[in-house]
Amino acid sequence: MWDREIRAMASTHAIIAASVFMATVLPAVLVPGFSVYGTHLSWLYSVSGAVVAVSVAVFWLLGVAPPTKRNSLGHKLSRLFRYCLYFFLSCLFFHAVVVLYGAPLIDSALETFSLAVLLTSLTTLRCLCVLGPNVQAWIRVFSRHGAMSVWDTGLQITVACTVVGAWLGAFPIPLDWDRPWQVWPISCSLGSTIGFLTGLAAAPLWIHYHRKQLTYKCK
Amino acid sequence: MKGLRLLSLLLWLCSVYYVGIYLFVGGFLLVRLEVNRTSTCGDVLQPADELRDFCHARPRFRRAVLLIVDALRIDFTRFDPNNVAPLPFENKLPVLEEMVTFRPSHCRLYPFRADPPTTTMQRIKGFTTGSLPTFVDVGNNFASSAILEDNLIHQFGNAGKRVVFMGDDTWESLFPKRFHRSLPFPSFNVKDLHTVDNGILQHLYTTMVGGDWDVVVAHFLGVDHCGHRFGSDHPAMADKLTQMDGVIRSVIDRVENDTLLVVMGDHGMTDSGDHGGESQKETDAALFLYSPSSLFPPSSQSEPTVVPQTDLVPTLALLLGVPIPYSNLGQVLLPVFPSLGHTDGVGGRLSQLEALWINAKQVNRFLETYSGIAKDIPPESLSHLKDEFSRLSSEYLTAVGGTRTPSPQLAASLQAYLASVRDTCRATWAKFNPLKMAAGLVILAFACLMCFTLSELSHLLIRENVSVLKALLSAALMAGALVAAGQRLTLGYVEVAWCLAAAALSSELIFLWRTLQAGATTAAKNGCKTFKSASWLTPGCLLAPQLLVALLRCASLLSDSYVIAEGRAVTFLVLSLAIYIPIRLNWDGLLSPPSPDPLKAAGLLPSAASPPLVLRKESSTLLTCVGLLVGSLYLSLSFHGCREEQGSCQPSPFLTPLSRLQDNQLKNLHYVLSVSSLGVWTYLLRCCLRHYGNLNSSGGTAFTARWILPMLAVCLGLYWAVSATSEDSFRNLSELISLAQLVLPRSAFFLLGLGLLLIWIDPLTVFVKTRAAATARGASLPRPRYRASTGISPQAELHHLIPQIYQRMRRSLEDGELSEANEVGSRPAVEAYGLGTVYSAPLLLLCGLLGIGLLLLHPEGMALSFLLMLLQMGALLHIHASSTTLCSLHGTQSGGFNVPWIPVVLWSLAATQFFHATGHLPTFPSIQWNAAFVGFPHGHTSNILPASLVTLNTFASHILFAVGCPLLLFWPLVCEARGSRGRVCGEEGEDAVMEMKLRENPQQFSAALLQLSTRYLFILGAQVFASVCAAAILRRHLMVWKVFAPKLMFEASGFLVSSFSLLIGVTLVLRVDGAVGRWFKRLVPDASR
């Protein structure tokens, strides 16, 4: 049972990582003038779009999300609406947090919001996919004994890595090196992406090596 | 409670830090006093019988052209015809070598050695004043960079010479309004290779041909910028040097007979194009002198191999016929003066000996003046130099008077004299003392280590009855005396710094050794328990976020970019750590009520009923406070000032004083904002004190809180109003206004002093109601049990008694409340007495008073920032209290009153954060000098008062946070009653409440206080250590004099002020403790009756 779940998670993560990779490489080949630094925002949206699409598809196919009790069309629609609403609210939340951390309030609001979109699609989206639109469950998952399955542990690791990556990404901004990647928000979005990829790689490995210690209550 | 012991331990720790800082700063910061005298033409430099005013004699040259090529290293100017594959910087200036070869009597090329620091501004200062610049040239004017010492430009101006300047705009800031004509170009952008040079070239030739000049100074920056951008080994350097070659050629073509051409570099550069340090590549520039008329003797007699940069000053001065600048230390360049044999008597042509004599006399005069105002030149070398000069002068005077040809030895010994003066001064001013720096570093590092050990082992050390302090003190005294005696014997004099160093180091080592021993003995006693304390240095512990944040903060001091952006960086770190707290609590499952667990619901945990409620309340308090903290952090960003390195930065509009605002509406708005925030500050403090019942008593502190605090606020508000009125609007009231400007702040100072005095004299805020009716209820109290144990010492009796008193008082007050239907309602009665906050109330009041007092020294707009500071303090305290309560609810925290690292780190970082948020910056130009004139609008007579006012202004946030530091210990206890009231009310057996818990456990109390103070000192000390390291490691960095050295000064003085304030806070706590003890003693007889 362990092996199967870990393998499923590893392959899922590989697919998501590949999507990030493709979202960087494909436009660079196909679209003239595309580069990570030069046209940063389009890179950012392409990565977020790819991650959103691939995660939604994969997690839907895997059926990780909590089962719903009612299956009427209206209910489905309202559920979809709630997903979108939560996604948007999370973008606003991240935007506010980033501004509080010292991002300019008005000057580059578009860049800041794009970073918030990226962070949302790397973190909140996964929460949505794994736990459904349920903030209580999200808060619960981020506690020591809150994880109830391998997927929850994986969620903890990737989200933490992404956030820490974005946090570390802010460090080079004040330095006077005059590099293209020090421009806001490039270092932060690169940091969060790299953190996300690290989390994707680390989660199955960590779970694999700690599978003896991990015990989950049944759902 | 062992108050004295605690205090002396802290004092000793602080003094060890001070010694470390003193040693390092003594080795690193080179201080020189500026002599603000100027030489004049009337100075009798010639022998008395030969009264000759050389200003009016015809000088050797009428005009001069100074071409300064920034960073022109000496090997750029060499030409080697055999070099077939020259590097980009080789063989690109053939003109100099050509001239030297073909016209040897017209020109010379010398290596030109600069003194470190080899940065342009210091160099310009060096070769115009002729002195050796240091980091702190203590002059009259700190705020501007203009040169006030006597210098060449000033002398040229005095002699009526028209000085035309073009090029690097540094000159314009150094010599404002001194030039006849000035064409400065921006030097800031290092990437721009051509703007300055092309700008000069546009004007240079036309100016030279035009004739409206006597001295032209042209400062080219292209070579330097090219080095910074590409390094010396780059094709761009070849282009730049070739361009310079062309410039020099065309200037030589245009120079006339009465004109001297000087081509020079102000410093060199390393291969990577940097400069600032003292390597030979950085110090050795080129000096090229040329004149169309014959200048040098054909026979190359004693040619100097290297010309020190200062030597240019007297040479130029004497060649152009102006007095040598007063503080010059250079010696004349001999080959340009005819030796005595060749003197043809043409007016003004000084012979070598005359030139040397004038020079020596000027240097001697400077030395006498300087030794009169400063004592940093060692007296024995000074007296040696004086003797030497008097010997030489008598020899010279007899030689001149007797018309006897002076011996050639005289010139040589005059030269030797000048050289030895310069060497003496250089040893005093221009050399780091690496030994002292290293000793300071070591002492600081050990002090930090000691603080850490103390904070981890505070329980052990307080309990230990061995007099550690005596041992420390005696060791320190012995080591100091030994070193002093050794110095006395070997060197003949005593240098205090080294004695202090030996004392500090020996006491540190003794302390660490004893601590290790003590740790080992206790480890032997109770096995594994102390091994917990031995495991602090595991990587996992160091990576814990609180220490990681502290570490990041220290590391950030090593980078100039982070020092420049310090305000934002610290805010970022504080925010990160603040957000970490709820995340961590949530991770531990403490924030949200545990999910309905079948095991717990079954009744395994007895108190399952009340916690969720308390817990929800606590966590909502916590989250609200985090929100408040984050909000105030964000808002505090808008009060920052701007460094000059931050290009696109607007200083906060609140930093301008109201009197300078033009727009009346804006002025009113600012005033209303400031006054209302002042009101909120006062109101909040009073509310807090009233809430805990500290305003009921009739003592001095309560009086202060009730009357002095509001009066102080009113005074301040009135003062702002008065100082904001523009002088023209109320003409007839101008006398009243000026009187008010004098009286209001002074009365505020007086009130502040009175309040502090009252707090100190009578710190208790306890109100005792003697109620006769209570006896009815009192009878139902259990009979005092201490009667049974009369045989025990009175100490134990007292110890036993105190709980009884609490219970009695509580009962009696509850009784009274019930009968009188007091509006306080069901609040526990003990609070009403203010006994629960007996420690924190005076401390809080002290902070509040000091805050208003310090606000008086700031611009009015800063009231908002101070309010934010108060809010942030409150938020931090509540966060700390709530998280402690949450932890204790789940039983995760052990006993004792330990303050964990996170709040301490947050507290100390917040001090730095508000240093920036009150408009301060770690640079000298940004010091708010206006503070010195608050209440003293007509200036001061002494220096001490304004200096202390400016210090108070600069380190206001450090003072407030350090004084308030012990609040971190008290606040969880203060909030406990509120948080877990349900439980306390439920269990009548709970005797001691709130801060009386501390009273119950004096041992743990003093241990916790010691731990808190040492932790705070550790964080502060680590920051000082980091900036000391930065200054030591990066002492050759380009930015050292601009960024790191000022930062070190501010960090060190901040530490001084903070530690002092911390000691004041701790002393106040101890004072309260003593007062409470006496108060209980007074109560004992009543209760036992």
* B559, B595, B637 ranked by CB distance to A102: nearest: B637
pLDDT surpasses 50 at B567: yes
> For residue B541, what pLDDT is reported?
60
Instruction: Give yes or no for B565 touching A (CB within 8 A).
Output: yes
pLDDT surpasses 50 at B966: yes
Most confident segment among B229-233, B366-370, B605-609, B835-839: B366-370
pLDDT surpasses 50 at B607: no
Q: B592 and A167: CB-CB below 8 Å?
A: no
User: What is the average per-residue pLDDT within A49-62?
Assistant: 90
Give A-chain residues touching B562 at CB under 8 angstroms.
174-175
pLDDT surpasses 90 at A52: yes
pLDDT surpasses 80 at A107: yes
> For residue B957, what pLDDT is reported?
94
For residue B781, what pLDDT band results from cuts at 50, 70 and 90?
A: very low
For residue B782, what pLDDT band results from cuts at 50, 70 and 90?
A: very low
For residue A170, what pLDDT band results from cuts at 50, 70 and 90?
A: very high
pLDDT digits (tens, 9 = 90+) for B884-920: 888 877 765 555 678 888 999 999 999 999 999 999 9
- Could you tell me how many CB contacts below 8 A there are between chain A and chain B? 41
User: What is the average per-residue pLDDT within A118-127?
Assistant: 92
Q: B565 and A174: CB-CB below 8 Å?
A: yes
Q: Tell me which of B99-113, B454-468, B726-740, B872-886 is least confident.
A: B454-468
User: What is the average per-residue pLDDT within B565-577?
Assistant: 93
pLDDT digits (tens, 9 = 90+) for B71-97: 899 988 888 888 888 888 888 888 888
Give the gap in angstroms from C-alpha A155 to the nearest C-alpha of chain B. 14
Query: What are the start-end ranges of the E strands in A87-199?
Result: none
Q: Which residue of B has its CA nearest to A97?
A: B630
User: What is the average per-residue pLDDT within B537-555?
Assistant: 76
Q: A144 and B588: CB-CB below 8 Å?
A: yes
User: What is the average per-residue pLDDT within B208-227?
Assistant: 89
pLDDT surpasses 60 at B820: no
With 0-12 / 13-18 / 19 or more C-beta atoms within 10 angstroms meaning exposed / middle / buried, residue B894 is exposed
Q: Which residue has 């005069």 as its token pair?
A: B365
Q: Which helix (H) or strand (E) holds B624?
A: helix B611-636
> For residue B1089, what pLDDT is reported?
41
pTM, full prediction: 0.78
How far apart are alpha carbons B617 and B611 in whole angstroms? 10
> For residue B543, what pLDDT is reported?
64
Q: A102 and B571: CB-CB below 8 Å?
A: yes
- Pick the residue of B559, B587, B1038 with the most A CBs within 10 A to test the interface with A by mutation: B587
User: What is the average per-residue pLDDT within B859-883?
Assistant: 92
Q: B592 and A139: CB-CB below 8 Å?
A: yes
> For residue B142, what pLDDT is reported?
46
Q: Give how far Cα B322 sits from Cα of B40, B60, B103, B314, Å.
A: 9, 11, 28, 9
Q: B571 and A100: CB-CB below 8 Å?
A: no
How far apart are alpha carbons B281 and B274 in whole angstroms? 10
Give the gap in angstroms from C-alpha A142 to the nearest C-alpha of chain B. 6
Give the gap in angstroms from C-alpha A175 to the nearest C-alpha of chain B. 5
> For residue A94, what pLDDT is reported?
95
Give B-chain residues touching A143 at CB under 8 angstroms.
586-589, 592
Cα dihedral sign for B53, B57, B62, B65? negative
pLDDT surpasses 80 at B786: no
Give B-chain residues touching A176 at CB under 8 angstroms.
560-561
pLDDT digits (tens, 9 = 90+) for B618-654: 888 889 999 999 999 999 998 998 887 777 788 888 8
> For residue B909, what pLDDT is reported?
94
Give the gap in angstroms from C-alpha A74 to the nearest C-alpha of chain B. 31
pLDDT surpasses 90 at B796: no
Q: Tell me which of A143-152, B110-119, B474-483, B883-892 is least confident.
A: B883-892
CB under 8 Å to B520, separation ≥6 — which residues?
none
Closest CA to A44 of A163, A200, A187: A187
Q: Give how far Cα B663 sits from Cα of B292, B535, B660, B666, B1058, Å.
A: 62, 62, 9, 5, 39
Instruction: Give yes or no for B575 touching A (CB within 8 A).
Output: yes
Q: Tell me which of B96-100, B814-818, B936-940 is least confident.
A: B814-818
For residue B147, what pLDDT band results from cuts at 50, 70 and 90?
A: confident
Mean pLDDT taken over chain B: 80
Q: Tell me which of A215-219, B9-13, B144-148, B200-204 is least confident.
A: A215-219
> For residue B60, what pLDDT is reported?
82
Q: B633 and A145: CB-CB below 8 Å?
A: no
Return the higher-pLDDT residue of B473 and B982.
B473
> For residue B283, what pLDDT is reported?
86
pLDDT surpasses 70 at B1030: yes
Return the higher-pLDDT residue of B461 and B643.
B643
Q: Give how far Cα A201 sits from Cα of A128, A204, B7, B611, Å.
A: 21, 7, 54, 40
B322 contacts B159 by C-beta, under 8 angstroms: yes
pLDDT surpasses 70 at B594: no
> For residue B603, what pLDDT is reported?
40
Using a pLDDT cut of 70, give the percent of chain B over it: 80
Give A-chain residues touching B588 at CB under 8 angstroms.
143-144
- Pick the residue of B543, B552, B563, B586 with the most A CBs within 10 A to test the interface with A by mutation: B586
Give A-chain residues touching B568 at CB under 8 angstroms.
102, 174
In the sheet with B259-264, reading across from the earlier edge strand, the strands are B181-185, B163-168, B215-220, B63-69, B259-264, B284-290, B107-113, B307-308
Give A-chain residues touching B560 at CB under 8 angstroms.
176
pLDDT surpasses 80 at B154: yes
> For residue A54, what pLDDT is reported?
93
How far apart are alpha carbons B90 and B372 in whole angstroms? 49
Give B-chain residues touching A174 at CB under 8 angstroms.
561-562, 564-565, 568-569
Dihedral (C-alpha) B223, B228, B231, B236: value to the nearest 10 degrees? Answer: -50
Return the higher-pLDDT residue of B593 and B621.
B621
> For residue B1078, what pLDDT is reported?
86
pLDDT digits (tens, 9 = 90+) for A183-212: 888 999 999 999 999 999 999 999 888 887
Most confident segment among B413-427, B642-656, B740-754, B800-814: B740-754
Q: A174 and B586: CB-CB below 8 Å?
A: no
Q: B572 and A140: CB-CB below 8 Å?
A: no
For residue B227, what pLDDT band results from cuts at 50, 70 and 90?
A: confident
Query: Which of A 134-173 lie inside 8 A of B, CB atoms?
Result: 139-140, 142-146, 167, 170
Q: Which residue of A has its CA nearest to B559?
A: A175
Give B-chain residues touching A146 at CB under 8 angstroms.
589
Q: Which residue of B has its CA nearest to A160?
A: B583
pLDDT surpasses 70 at B346: no
Q: Which residue of A has its CA nearest to B560?
A: A175
Give the gap in angstroms from C-alpha B228 to the nearest C-alpha of chain A. 13
SS3 state at B523: helix
How far apart are alpha carbons B190 and B193 in whole angstroms? 7
How far apart are alpha carbons B1010 and B1004 in whole angstroms? 10
Bridge pairing between strands B215-220 and B163-168: parallel
Give the gap in angstroms from C-alpha B589 to the nearest C-alpha of chain A. 6
User: Could you give phi then psi for residue A152, rounded to 5 degrees?
Assistant: -65, -45
pLDDT surpasses 70 at B118: yes
pLDDT surpasses 60 at B114: yes
Q: Which residue of B has its CA nearest to A144?
A: B587
For residue B299, what pLDDT band results from cuts at 50, 70 and 90?
A: low
> For residue B123, what pLDDT is reported?
86
Return the higher-pLDDT residue of B297 and B781.
B297
Q: B576 and A167: CB-CB below 8 Å?
A: yes
